[in-house]
């Protein structure tokens, strides 16, 4: 320290002390009023970068949670629609069983068909469910047009198999819809698709095939097969060939309504086929719920009380029950998937909550002010300021001129 203190020094130093104490008080006061320790990045550059990052993480978490809420709503809606479908299919099953009652007449069955028709419309209504935004939930990516449109007596699917995902965490995407195709159209079936060739001359009809012996079926059935009826001889016979034709798979006498078994499969042909009439039998594939119900309705309406039609009815009812059961199972499977997704959403939501909480804590530690220490600091700074002011007033008032008279 210099051994001589000039007038300007006394004032400059005193003032300087007061000003710097005021700056310190002001800064602490600013921190106290904002509650923030870091007000500009320069206060703590490392913390500032961390704060930006934590803020972003927090914003992401908030968004993910919103996405989870939206996804949960979508899935709940789909789930409740599917429950409605399930209830409806149960009713269809009841009606099918009822229609199989041998004591019913054609007119009784027609009454049941009428109810089934309206059930079919109801099913289409559910399958064309729209969400709050007016999008068809079972239409895949084609959300702006109704996925199931009436075509003839049944309904055809106009949507696609698009599945929309929603991001619920940085690495998790959850599907929020299922396409109508997977739910209603491509229903796995254990029945074998069959058809009568269009140029057949007789009135023979074929019901869907079924699996008679699972082990044999798995080992031998390759499909498709052609069934040819030969009525040239005294007794009608049938011959089953692979397509394209190879060695005959099976042959035998044809009797209307009598089951034909080959390679573990069983088919029922009813009626009087013409000579050379053919039927094809395919490998098990999928069935369309609408087609199944529609086919039943048509059958109930048209089949008479004749013996062969009775046989056809029995086959039709058994086939319908099988397919409705498959459809029920399929819907349960989809519902189970939805349940699993909802579980994922719930656990992701819990995780996001946890991460968010930790994030907030870290953010608070990095950014927020420690009030206790800030207040004690403010008190201390006030003392310094007062001391500076008082000492300045004292020192600056001392002058020799006061004593010269």
Partner 1 sequence: MADILNIGVTGLSASQSALTTTGNNITNANTPGYSRERVVLQPQPQQYLGVGYIGSGVKVAAVQRIVDQFYVGQLRSDTSTFNSLDVTATQLNQLDSLLADQSTGLSPATQQLFSDLQQASQDPTSVPTRQVVLSDIGSLAQRFNTLYGQLQAQGQAVNQRFTDLSSQATSLAQNIAQLNQSILDQGGTSTSPNSLLDQREELLRQLSELVGVKTVEQTDGMVNVFIGSGQPLVIGNTANTLSAVPSKTDPTQQTLQLSVGSSSIDVTSFVTGGQLGGLAAFQSGTLNTAFNTLGRIAISLTDAMNHQQRLGVDLNGNAGNNLFTDINSASAMSARVLRPATNTGTDQPSVFISNPSALTTSDYQLSFSSATAYTLTRASDGVAVASGTLAAGQTTIPAASSVDGFQIQISATPTFASGDRFTIQPTRLGAQNISVALQKPEELAFAQPIRTDTNTANKGGGIISQGQMVPEYQAPVAAASFNIANPLTQPLLIRYTSATAYQILNNANPAAPVAFVPALTGTITPGQNNIVQINTAAGVPSYQITLAGTPAAGDQFTVTANTGGSSDNRNALALAGLNLTQTIGRLNFADAYGQMVADIGAKTAAVKNNRDAADTLLTQSQTNRDSVSAVNLDEEAANLIKYQQTYQASAQVISIARSLFTSLLAAFQ
Contact status: 385 vs partner 1 (CB under 8 A) = no
Contact status: 373 vs partner 1 (CB under 8 A) = no
Contact status: 143 vs partner 1 (CB under 8 A) = yes
Of residues 171 and 215, the one with the C-beta less far from partner 1: 171
Rounded Cα–Cα distance for residues 29 and 17 (Å): 18
Touching partner 1, residues 152-171 (CB under 8 A): 160-167, 170
Taking CB under 8 A as the binding criterion, the range among 65-73, 86-94, 113-121, 203-211 that sits at the site for partner 1 is 65-73
Q: Is the N-terminal amide bond of 224 cis, ω within 30° of 0? A: yes
Rounded Cα–Cα distance for residues 181 and 117 (Å): 21
Rounded Cα–Cα distance for residues 16 and 150 (Å): 90
User: 75, 123, 140, 273: which one contacts partner 1 (CB under 8 A)?
Assistant: 140
Max intra-chain CA distance, the chain: 161
Contact status: 173 vs partner 1 (CB under 8 A) = yes
Contact status: 364 vs partner 1 (CB under 8 A) = no
Rounded Cα–Cα distance for residues 233 and 227 (Å): 17
Least spacing, CB of residue 17 vs partner 1, in Å = 11
Of residues 55 and 370, the one with the C-beta less far from partner 1: 55
Rounded Cα–Cα distance for residues 69 and 168 (Å): 10
Least spacing, CB of residue 78 vs partner 1, in Å = 13
Touching partner 1, residues 101-120 (CB under 8 A): none
Rounded Cα–Cα distance for residues 32 and 30 (Å): 5
Of residues 13 and 230, the one with the C-beta less far from partner 1: 13
CA angle 124, 128, 131 (to 5 degrees): 150
Rounded Cα–Cα distance for residues 83 and 89 (Å): 10
Contact status: 371 vs partner 1 (CB under 8 A) = no
Of residues 24 and 259, the one with the C-beta less far from partner 1: 24
CB 163 within 8 A of CB 122: no
Least spacing, CB of residue 103 vs partner 1, in Å = 38
Q: What count of other Cβ atoms lies within 10 Å of the Cβ of residue 269?
A: 26
Count of chain residues binding partner 1 (CB under 8 A): 68
Least spacing, CB of residue 375 vs partner 1, in Å = 25
Rounded Cα–Cα distance for residues 363 and 269 (Å): 76
Contact status: 4 vs partner 1 (CB under 8 A) = yes
CB burial string 119-143: b at 16+ within 10 A, e below = bbeebbebbbbebeeeebbbbbebb
Touching partner 1, residues 10-29 (CB under 8 A): 12-13, 16
Residues that bind partner 1 (CB under 8 A): 2-9, 12-13, 16, 40-46, 48-49, 52-53, 55-56, 59-60, 62-64, 66-67, 70-71, 74, 133-135, 139-145, 160-167, 170, 173, 176-177, 181, 185-186, 282-286, 399-401, 404
């Amino acid at each position: 320290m210099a051994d001589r203190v000039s007038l300007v020094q006394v004032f400059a130093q005193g003032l300087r002390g007061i000003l710097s104490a005021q700056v310190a008080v002001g800064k602490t006061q600013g921190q106290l009023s904002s509650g923030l320790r870091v007000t500009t990045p320069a206060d703590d550059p490392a913390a500032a970068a961390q704060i930006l990052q934590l803020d972003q993480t927090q914003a992401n978490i908030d968004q993910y949670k919103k996405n989870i809420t939206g996804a949960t709503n979508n899935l709940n809606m789909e789930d409740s629609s599917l429950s409605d479908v399930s209830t409806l299919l149960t009713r269809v099953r009841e009606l099918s069983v009822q229609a199989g009652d041998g004591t019913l007449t054609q007119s009784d069955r027609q009454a049941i068909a009428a109810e089934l028709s309206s059930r079919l419309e109801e099913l289409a209504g559910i399958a064309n469910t729209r969400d709050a935004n007016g999008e068809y939930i079972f239409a895949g990516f084609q959300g702006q047009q109704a996925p199931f449109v009436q075509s003839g007596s049944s309904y055809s699917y106009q949507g696609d198999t698009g599945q929309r995902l929603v991001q619920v965490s940085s690495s998790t995407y959850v599907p929020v819809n299922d396409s109508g195709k997977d739910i209603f159209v491509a229903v796995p079936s254990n029945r074998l698709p069959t058809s009568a060739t269009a140029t057949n001359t007789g009135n023979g009809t074929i019901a869907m095939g079924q699996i008679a012996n699972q082990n044999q079926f798995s080992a031998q059935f390759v499909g498709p097969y052609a069934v040819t009826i030969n009525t040239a001889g005294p007794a009608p016979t049938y011959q089953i060939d692979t397509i394209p034709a190879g060695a005959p798979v099976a042959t035998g006498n044809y009797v209307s309504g009598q089951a034909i078994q080959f390679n573990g499969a069983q088919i029922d042909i009813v009626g009087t086929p013409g000579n050379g009439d053919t039927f094809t039998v395919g490998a098990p594939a999928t069935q369309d719920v609408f087609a199944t119900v529609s086919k039943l309705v048509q059958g109930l309406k048209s089949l008479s009380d004749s013996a062969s039609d009775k046989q056809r009815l029995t086959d039709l009812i058994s086939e319908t029950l099988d397919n409705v059961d498959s459809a029920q199972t399929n819907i349960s499977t989809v519902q189970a998937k939805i349940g699993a997704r909802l579980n994922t959403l719930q656990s992701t939501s819990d995780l996001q909550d946890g991460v968010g909480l930790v994030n907030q804590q870290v953010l608070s530690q990095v950014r927020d002010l420690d009030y206790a220490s800030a207040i004690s600091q403010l008190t201390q700074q006030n003392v310094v300021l007062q001391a500076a002011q008082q000492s300045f007033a004292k020192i600056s008032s001392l002058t020799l001129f006061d004593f010269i008279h």
